[in-house]
Structure 1
Amino acid sequence: MIDKQSPIPIYFQIEALIDKQIKDGVLRPGEALPSEREFASEYGVSRMTIRQGITNLVQQKKLYREKGKGTFVSWPNIEQPLSKMTSFTEDMKNREMEPGSKLLSFNRVEATGEIASILGISEGTMVFAIKRVRLADHMPIALEQTYITCELAPDLHEGVLHSSLYQYFEQECGYIINDAEQTIKAILATSEDAALLEVEKGSPLLAIRRQARLEDNRVLEAVYSHYRGDRYHFVTKMSR
């Protein structure tokens, strides 16, 4: 409750109250906050005071505003350390989030020059081309295009593509995945990105290209991913 006799500013109490409701799960990610008018009426304070408390939480990225719609609870950012190689499924499970995939396409195609170069094969070699939207707690996080040489996984089937490919490669194919090289750059969401990731066209995304290698130095996969910039960020530890 709000204590108007407290030396703590009322806007700060409002901020703390909303923050606690978010942490306690009373207000959930994506949920709209009551209007400033409703808050002001409930706690008997001015709308300006309510606005200041809410603005502080927006600046902390715990809330976000959508013009003409209101203020909403932000989804927590997902951190991925760059020092360890993990799959998307492993990342989500480590954060106690439910991983998922929406399969958009699964085809055998001839490798183009660029794909062949990354996979270390001849141009025209048959590869699996897999396009998926990756989900965390049912929310789209990344649009992912994966290429795998058919010879490496001749029995790969659609049923595998709704879970972890790395688990399939290690447990079913008996491969030892050794390492990966990633390049990351910032891009803006295209119309396709926006529709599939449920963001506005032109929203910031992280474009990531990963080349994963097996223990014998063969390239296992080439993956092109577009991650939502508002939900995902990478962390690296450096020493001098």
Structure 2
Amino acid sequence: MTVSRLEQALGHTFQNRDLLQLALTHRSFTSPHNERLEFLGDAILNAVIARCLFERFPLLPEGDLSRLRASLVRQDSLHQLAVDLSLGECLRLGEGEQKSGGQQRPSILADALEALFGALWLDAGFDLAGQVIVHVYAGVLKRLTSGQGIKDAKTRLQEYLQGIRLALPQYSLAGAEGEAHAQQFRVVCVIESLQIRTEGRGGSRRAAEQMAAERALESLESAHDHSRLQRS
């Protein structure tokens, strides 16, 4: 994936190309790197998500809003969004990090996404950066419900299949790559009754299963939308 395709996915073309390059530079590559932008991005991300939740759930108390925000900005959530953007393909990493699978490491991807949000703020201002963040989070925000927080993908997939009285999905390990301290796992999710087979990757088997389940949910949603169009 090229940097221009990343910009297309974000819906923003950087005026300051140096900022974009800095956001994609890991400390293993050179200095300066993206850690200062990560600090900035963390701040704007929390502010934008807080406002989204404040407006969406006007009756929700502060404690529940805080828990919802925490679930949205934690590393697992940021990692999944970064994977969806193919952000790892654009990162500038040192040779050691590249060989050990740094482009797929959850912590590196989550930090780089925050750095990207920080760069957006400096490049285009708060309002536009906020619009991009909401765009990136659109799918997650669509599924958000108050009271329960965000259910993980495996739970949502299981509940959906139980609701239509189908057998639960089967997860199997398809492989593992990289050094022992930085392995990347590949997991396959199969829903035989619906002929759905998806694959997920992650720094742990659990993370890979969650990604595979998320992609299965996307397949179900796509099939549902297609069926609805045919009936209309």
If the TM-score is normalised by the length of the shorter chain, which range does it land in? under 0.3
Instruction: Return the TM-score normalized by structure 2.
Output: 0.24
Higher relative contact order (CA 8 A, sep 6+): 2
Instruction: Return the TM-score normalized by structure 1.
Output: 0.24
Higher Rg of the two aligned structures: 1
